[in-house]
Amino acid sequence: MHESEWLEVFMKNSGKKTAGALSIILLICMGIIIALFAATPFLAKYMFSLYVVQNLLFCYTAGALSLWFLYELRKLILSVRDGNPFVRRNVTSLKRLSLALALLMADFIFIFCFVPSISKLLCIALLLLGTLCARVLAFLIERAAEYREEIDLTV
């Protein structure tokens, strides 16, 4: 086996290991969010805010959107691990990711109206940036999937 062939095999195996580790990390994050869902009513009594209802609404909405985001991200990672990055379902997943980010941004705007802060503005800006990046990436993957389908049909 030549050195370049060995390097290629190593890179493929390390990519699969990395994707597997990322998938496990995402599952752990999803479990933590679900645990926080269950614990939030008990933690609400420790919130010393005038806007407890708004904060709870923000927390539950952000948690649900985060779960949805992590689920779609996990589907993307598993698809890439399997060697199918340029397929239509990844385009759909990326569009759903961008929608989840846009809704999360709206949730941050909602809570910003009650409790304004610079950190929330930064989160809103980053979520807007993430939404735009996911949309552009979805467009690029869609084009690549079209090219791949054309190539598959000609061969």
pLDDT in tens, 113-127: 988 999 999 999 999
Rounded average pLDDT over 54-69: 90
∠ CA 40-41-42, rounded to 5°:
90
**Is residue 10 very low, low, confident or very high in pLDDT (cuts 50, 70, 90)?**
very low
Per-residue pLDDT reduced to its tens digit, 67-97 = 999 999 999 999 888 888 889 999 999 999 9
CB-CB contact of 96 with 134 (8 Å): no
pLDDT at 2 over 60: no
∠ CA 107-76-72, rounded to 5°:
30
Query: Where in the sequence is the domain holding 49, given as residue range(s)?
Result: 3-154
Based on the structure, what is the number of domains in the chain?
A: 1
CB-CB contact of 45 with 56 (8 Å): no
Cβ burial 110-137 (10 Å sphere, 16+ → b, else e): ebbeeeeeeeeeebbeebeebbeebbeb
pLDDT at 18 over 90: no
Burial of 50 (0-12, 13-18, 19+ CB in 10 A): exposed
